[in-house]
Structures are given as structure tokens and as C-alpha cells.
Amino acid sequence: MTDQRPLHPDTVAVHSGRGDLADLGVHALPIDLSTTNPLPDIERGGDSYEAMAGGGRPIADGSLVYARLWNPTVARFEDALAEMEHAEAAVAFSSGMAAMTAVILAHTGATGKHHVVAVRPLYGGTDHLLGSGLLGTETTFCHPSEVGVSIRQDTALVIVETPANPTLELVDIAEVVAAAGDVPVVVDNTFATPILQNPLDHGAAMSLHSATKYLGGHGDVIAGVVACSETTAEALRRVRAVTGGLLHPLGAYLLHRGLTTLPVRMRQQQENAQRIVQWLIDQPEVDEVFFPGLDGDPQGIVKRQMHGTGAMIAMRMRGGYSAAGAVASAVSLFTHAVSLGGVDSLIQHPAALTHRPVPADARPDADVLRLSIGLENADDLIADLAQAFTRVGSGAQASGAATASPAQG
């Protein structure tokens, strides 16, 4: 923030989390790999340890003590992400699932509340974690319109993902927050990123990212991060300190560096995705295309809470499961792999892979493929899909019943 006006998100992405670099006499982000830190004396070392173990920040003139409690490189990335998400704080973890686990534990367990309301669809790992009861929670899965009636006295948390994985359903965050009442709402903001959506601006308590995806952007770091209030951050840091779900400093460095190009990457990837969507909707091999705003945005969600449509696409293949599998195997520029949000384009089959642990009645259909659009030339990506459709041939164009998928068990 300048004295005159707020900085543009592009500028924030480049400069956030770097306020101490001039005092350090450096320009590039430093990487602090220390696992332990010298103690000035017993009293100040002990006080700093107590503060950080309780979820707080290091005390002035104290010590960072131990990397499980605090790391400067990680803290810089957290500060940067918090600023981009319009949040007081952020807490980074070793993976997106570690972040989600910490959110659940921080809001259940010691609170005496063990019920969670979750709006489907969700990322398969999150759905499986909630459905398994592994963390001692009971989960009510519901439609966005059912959040209010699903809330109980022992409800600790409402979990939403928008745009949702894998078929890009949109959820009105403000409506869910209103229906949840006093129950905190966490929004998985992985697909949209802070560039296209800021859930806290619409009343959510937390914005969670699998930072592995767009924030890193290059497929070389696994991490998660939650933007939230300082009070919530303290609770999350306590969980992180006790469970050891910390992010390695090198990963934090890569993520912080990735944020600087996030706005530029998102714009180009979104432009590529929009061109590919317009081509896909005219292809006879494709029964349906899923993409935010493609239906004209009748509820106004894209216009009201987003700054763009993103770069994820899902498509339903006319030839069913066999056609979907054949197309995924026939591409050459697209990499047939899980994950998303990198500079290169990926294609995968959610029902057989990322959403395989989800119960059959909530699992994505077997004829659906998910595309993560990268920075390649859009015409080249379209040509790759076209040749894959051609190679699949009549099998992909068949209009009969889909072949049963092994993922549907």
C-alpha cells in the first residue's frame, strides 16, 4: 500500500514479503537452512520458544530456536501470500493435505466440536480424508444450498472448493458464509489463486491452497498454505509445531519466487484455456465442456467474486470411459499426469486417479477428463487434442453406452 492508492496485484506479487531485504543488504531472496539457532541466554531463548510453540511469533531480541517453530524463508513466503490474499497472516505446510489436516485439527479436537460440513465436489484427497473419519470427525456432505440445514451445535467447520475439482462447479462464497453463521468457512482456492479470487473478501475465514499447483507453477515443489486472521494463524502454527508438518525453506523460496510471475502466468494460461474451450465445444467427440462462465454465469458468481475464469477445463467424452482413456494416452504435448497449475499442460482422468478414493455415488463420471492448460501456444495444444481425437477414431465418436470403468468398482 502506498500513501496514494493500493498497489496493483501485479506489483504486490513482485514486492510482497521482501520488506527486510534492503536491511539485510541483499536483492534476491535468501534461503535460511538452519535447523537450530543460537540462544542469546536461557531466559530469552525460553521465552521465544514458549511464544512460538504456542503459535505466536518470535519475541524481539530472542531466538528462532528451532526450525520446526519458525523459519525466516518460510515466513517471508507466508507474508507475501497473506498480502496477496488480503489476510492478516498465512501459515505454510509441507503439502496441501497437511494444510487441510491442520485446519481440521485446529477447529476440532480441543474445541470439543467434531462435525464438519463439506460441499461437494471437492478434491479427492480432501473428500477421502473427511469421509474416512481418520481425524475423529463426522462429516455431512451436501450441496451449497444445504449448508444452513446441515449445521449442528457441534459443527466446527464448513469446507468449500470453488471452482471445484474436477468439474469447475462454482459456489457463492458469501451465500455459504451467511448460511454457516458463526461456523468458520474455509475455501480451497487452489484453482482460482489469489489473482482471480480472494475468499476472505467475501467473508470466508480461511483461503487454502495446494501451493504445489499455481503458486509454485513449475511442478518442482509440494506445499500447502492457509491465509487467515492472526488468531487462526496461531492455532494453525500450534498444530504445525506439534505435528511437524512444516514446509522446507527451499520449497518456501521456490514458492515465493513463483508468486512474482503468478499474475502473468495466470493471464496467459487463462487466455489459452478460453481459446481451447471455444474449440472443444464444437468437437463431435466431446459431449460437454465444463468451464466457469461457459453457461453465461446465470448466478453471477464469476462476475461477483472472481477476476477471471482460470485455466482448468473438464470435458465429457462422447465415447465414454474407453474414449477418455484413449485420448489421455494419445496426446503428446499434454503430459498424462496428475497435478495441475504448472507452465506445461497436463491431462488426467479424475475418476481413475485423483478422485478414486471418493465413494462411487460422488465420484466424477468415468467419461470425464480434466485439463490443466499451460503456457504453450494455444494452437499447438489444440492440434495435439485434435490428433488425439482422430487417433481414437470411431471409438471416441460412438454415442452408445460407456464402457464400465474399473474406477467405478
- pLDDT the model gives residue 4: 75
**Choosing from 79, 127, 172, 188, which is the catalytic residue?**
188
pLDDT at residue 205 greater than cutoff 50: yes
Q: Is position 378 within any domain?
A: yes
Higher pLDDT: 398 or 389? It is 389
Quote the CA–CA distance of 17 and 37 in Å, as a whole number: 22
pLDDT at residue 396 greater than cutoff 80: no
**Cβ(309)–Cβ(373) under 8 Å?**
no
Q: Which cell goes with 20?
A: 527486510
Active-site residue 213, yes or no? Answer: yes
- pLDDT the model gives residue 401: 41
pLDDT of 46-93, one tens digit each?
A: 999 999 999 999 998 889 999 999 999 999 999 999 999 999 999 999
pLDDT at residue 406 greater than cutoff 60: no
Quote the CA–CA distance of 268 and 288 in Å, as a whole number: 24
Quote the CA–CA distance of 163 and 143 in Å, as a whole number: 14
Greatest Cα pair distance in the chain? 76
Q: Is position 124 within any domain?
A: no
pTM of the model: 0.93
pLDDT at residue 354 greater than cutoff 90: no
**Choosing from 18, 76, 213, 265, which is the catalytic residue?**
213
Q: Is position 248 within any domain?
A: no
pLDDT at residue 2 greater than cutoff 60: no
User: Using CB atoms within 10 A of its CB, is residue 209 exposed (0-12), middle (13-18) or buried (19+)?
Assistant: buried
- pLDDT the model gives residue 374: 98
- pLDDT the model gives residue 266: 98
Query: E strands within 229-330?
Result: 286-290, 312-317
Q: How many domains does the chain divide into?
A: 1
pLDDT of 10-32, one tens digit each?
A: 999 999 999 999 999 999 999 99
Active-site residue 68, yes or no? Answer: yes
How many CB atoms sit inside 10 A of residue 181's CB?
A: 11
The amino acid occupying position 120 is: R
- pLDDT the model gives residue 3: 61
- pLDDT the model gives residue 60: 87
pLDDT at residue 355 greater than cutoff 80: no
pLDDT at residue 402 greater than cutoff 60: no
pLDDT at residue 267 greater than cutoff 70: yes
**Choosing from 123, 214, 253, 321, which is the catalytic residue?**
123
Q: What is the β-pairing status of strands 346-348 and 335-336?
A: parallel
Quote the CA–CA distance of 345 and 374 in Å, as a whole number: 4
Active-site residue 188, yes or no? Answer: yes
- pLDDT the model gives residue 264: 98
Q: Is position 396 within any domain?
A: yes
What's the chain's average pLDDT? Answer: 93
Domain that holds residue 319: 263-408
**Choosing from 44, 47, 66, 68, which is the catalytic residue?**
68
Active-site residue 61, yes or no? Answer: no
Q: What is the CATH number of the domain that holds 370?
A: 3.90.1150.10
- pLDDT the model gives residue 73: 98
Give the mean model confidence (pLDDT) for residues 272-284. Answer: 98
pLDDT of 169-197, one tens digit each?
A: 999 999 999 999 999 999 999 999 999 99
Q: Is position 342 within any domain?
A: yes
Q: Is position 375 within any domain?
A: yes
pLDDT of 102-113, one tens digit each?
A: 999 999 987 889
**Cβ(249)–Cβ(255) under 8 Å?**
no
Give percent above pLDDT 90 in the chain.
Answer: 88
pLDDT at residue 403 greater than cutoff 50: no
DSSP letter (8 states) at residue 36: B
pLDDT of 117-129, one tens digit each?
A: 999 999 999 999 9
Q: Is position 272 within any domain?
A: yes
Segment among 221-235, 335-349, 384-398 with least mean pLDDT: 384-398
Q: Is position 343 within any domain?
A: yes
Give the mean model confidence (pLDDT) for residues 250-271. Answer: 98
